[in-house]
Amino acid sequence: MGQQEKTSTNRRPLRIGYAHVPTGVHPAAWRTSAQEPDPLDPDVLTDHVRIADHARLDFILFSPRVARSRTAWPDDPATFGRPEGFTAASYLATITGHIGFIVSGNTSYAEPYNLARLTASLDHVTNGRAGWLVTTGATDRPRALELGRELTPEEHYARASEAVGVVRKLWDSWEDEAFILDKKSGRYVDGERIHATDHQGEYFRVRGPLNVARPPQGQIVVAHHVRSDLSIDLAAQEADLVFIDDDSPEGYAPVASRIRERARTFGREADTLSIVADIVPIVAPTREEARGIYDALNVLLLNELSNDHQTAYRVLDELSQHVGIDLLPLGLDEPLDPKRLSDLNENGRALLDIVRERTGRSVADERSPRLSDLLFAYVIKGNYLIDDPEGVADRIEVLVRESNLDGVVIKPAVLPDQLEAFVSQVIPVLTRRGLFDPQTQGTLLREYFGRSKPQNRNTTSVSPLHDRFGHTG
């Protein structure tokens, strides 16, 4: 089956998630108001998540802080305002009604028994809205702990793969019918319906059973962020949901198609795996206003750099090496000389493309890019979609179609402004176009992705699933 065919003939609504980044993903986001809210304040966190919940976005993603970017500048201290995912999601569980919670759990530094407890418990308190983002020590900040030695990336991923298998088994420890709860006879559970795990693997030995009842979803949504060939294999084998990101949207299509290809070689049906890509939308009623928001954010950084010659020198030196021409004689506000730009290497030309995408300024245009534009294209990472509501919707539509994606993850540039702007301005356009459906089917996060609750692997006889705990799921 042609992948292209799938999305063009059967245009399913997109899955739209929200990645929680304290104060917003742009490094100047925290400076946009005189008194910025504290992202660790539970009321602030609640306000932000409620915006996404009320808009019926499919999920919020809590992922760990990742290593710093290539450049040491600009520093973004707001990244430290990141609550731990399981506690944050559980805090929000009973004060939200719809949104799923996908939380990272690192298989290099946590045992599968603990990961299974955390994820299954989160699924209970959210009535079936939990997801687990599998992370490994290969991509997280390095932290040599008790592993005795640094694991190779291959070992980190082998460990992850085994851990996911163990956790999946542990989730099935208790059959849905295990609870008898008969006060008269005193039988609380049926021990025959509680199953040991008896896992003996290369990295883990886990006897089981889990001490948490089967999660309402049965199997919780397993997600993985693709960052390398090794992670493509893990995603293709184990993940229900795959996150991809790339410095440029052109990078999405080949990665997505490789993941789907690998999944096929592992014998998986195409519709059991969803791929979503990060975007950073900046939206305003007009394209000019949207570009103005981006420029204004960058000006805040520029002011800092103007007062810090040492850092400015260092950053521009690094950029010069990256693009292949010496930029140091130039002032940050000076337009780039078109003649010299012909000497730019491939990196430099890619940055000019990013400048044009984000700001509309190009060499061919009368508004020639300035040195600062090139610099920000280099240091401000992310797939920025800067436009009016129709324009952002167009770009999402193109991105999803051309890369054969199932949806996108919004990383707001500034919180809450750009989250609010996206849900109030872009979501209605996507809904009108049939690309987003606020009436998601089902109540389980699995169901948002078109999957039903699976049979427990330990259930021998098929009996109607019922739930003793009054979960609405």
Which of positions 132-161 make contact with another protein (CB under 8 A)? Answer: 141, 143-146
Q: E strands along 323-449, which residues? A: 384-387, 407-410
| Closest approach of another protein to the CB of residue 183, in Å | 5
Contact criterion met (CB below 8 Å) for 238 and 267:
no
Helix (H) or strand (E) segment spanning residue 199: strand 199-200
Under the binding rule (CB under 8 A), the answer on residue 125 touching another protein is: yes
Nearest to 391 by CA among 360, 355, 437: 360
Q: For another protein, give the closer residue by CB, 141 or 340.
A: 141
Under the binding rule (CB under 8 A), the answer on residue 162 touching another protein is: no
Contact criterion met (CB below 8 Å) for 266 and 297:
no
Which positions from 430 to 469 touch another protein by CB under 8 A, shown as an x/- string?
--------------------------------------xx
Cα–Cα distance for residue pair 456/470, rounded to 1 Å: 19
Which positions from 191 to 230 touch another protein by CB under 8 A, shown as an x/- string?
x--x--------xxxxxxxxxxx-----------------
Nearest to 273 by CA among 168, 370, 407: 407
| Closest approach of another protein to the CB of residue 99, in Å | 15
Under the binding rule (CB under 8 A), the answer on residue 328 touching another protein is: no
Nearest to 280 by CA among 133, 370, 392: 392
| Closest approach of another protein to the CB of residue 1, in Å | 40
Q: For another protein, give the closer residue by CB, 120 or 444.
A: 120
Tell me which residues in 245-274 interact with another protein (CB under 8 A).
Answer: none
Verify cis geometry, omega within 30 degrees of 0, for the bond prior to 209.
yes
Instruction: Kindly list the distances between the CA atom of residue 117 and the CA atoms of 19, 195, 208, 300, 433, in Å, as whole numbers in the listed order.
Output: 23, 15, 11, 44, 41
Under the binding rule (CB under 8 A), the answer on residue 171 touching another protein is: no
Q: For another protein, give the closer residue by CB, 68 or 349.
A: 68
Q: Which residues of 140-173 are buried (b: 16+ CB within 10 A; e: fewer)?
A: beeeeeeeeeebebebbbbbbbbbbbbbbbbbbb
Q: For another protein, give the closer residue by CB, 182 or 346.
A: 182
Under the binding rule (CB under 8 A), the answer on residue 118 touching another protein is: yes
| Closest approach of another protein to the CB of residue 182, in Å | 9
2, 9, 67, 181: residue in contact with another protein (rule CB under 8 A): 181
Under the binding rule (CB under 8 A), the answer on residue 122 touching another protein is: yes
SS3 187: strand
| Closest approach of another protein to the CB of residue 135, in Å | 12
Among the listed ranges 172-180, 335-343, 414-422, 457-465, the one in contact with another protein (CB under 8 A) is 172-180
| Closest approach of another protein to the CB of residue 198, in Å | 10
Under the binding rule (CB under 8 A), the answer on residue 305 touching another protein is: no
| Closest approach of another protein to the CB of residue 254, in Å | 32
SS3 201: coil
Q: For another protein, give the closer residue by CB, 64 or 442.
A: 64
Cα–Cα distance for residue pair 139/149, rounded to 1 Å: 16
Structure tokens at 420: 């609010």
Tell me which residues in 40-99 interact with another protein (CB under 8 A).
Answer: 40-42, 45, 64-65, 77-78, 80-84, 86-95
| Closest approach of another protein to the CB of residue 91, in Å | 4
Which positions from 19 to 38 touch another protein by CB under 8 A, shown as an x/- string?
-----------xx--xxx-x
Q: For another protein, give the closer residue by CB, 199 or 314.
A: 199
The β-bridge partners of 174 are 194
| Closest approach of another protein to the CB of residue 383, in Å | 24
Cα–Cα distance for residue pair 3/402, rounded to 1 Å: 10
| Closest approach of another protein to the CB of residue 438, in Å | 25
* Residue in the structure block whose two tokens are 């929200």: 18
* Residue in the structure block whose two tokens are 């702990």: 145
HSE-CB for 324 with a 13 A CA cutoff: 12
SS3 2: coil
Q: For another protein, give the closer residue by CB, 191 or 285.
A: 191
186, 267, 329, 464: residue in contact with another protein (rule CB under 8 A): 186
Under the binding rule (CB under 8 A), the answer on residue 165 touching another protein is: no
Q: For another protein, give the closer residue by CB, 39 or 407.
A: 39
Among the listed ranges 112-120, 414-422, 427-435, 443-451, the one in contact with another protein (CB under 8 A) is 112-120
Listed in sequence order, the DSSP H helices in 137-228 are 153-171
Phi then psi for residue 207, to 5 deg, are -80, -40
Report angle CA 18, 282, 360 to the nearest 5 degrees. 145
Classify strands 274-283 and 407-410 as parallel, antiparallel or unpaired.
parallel
Applying CB under 8 A, the site for another protein has a residue count of 75
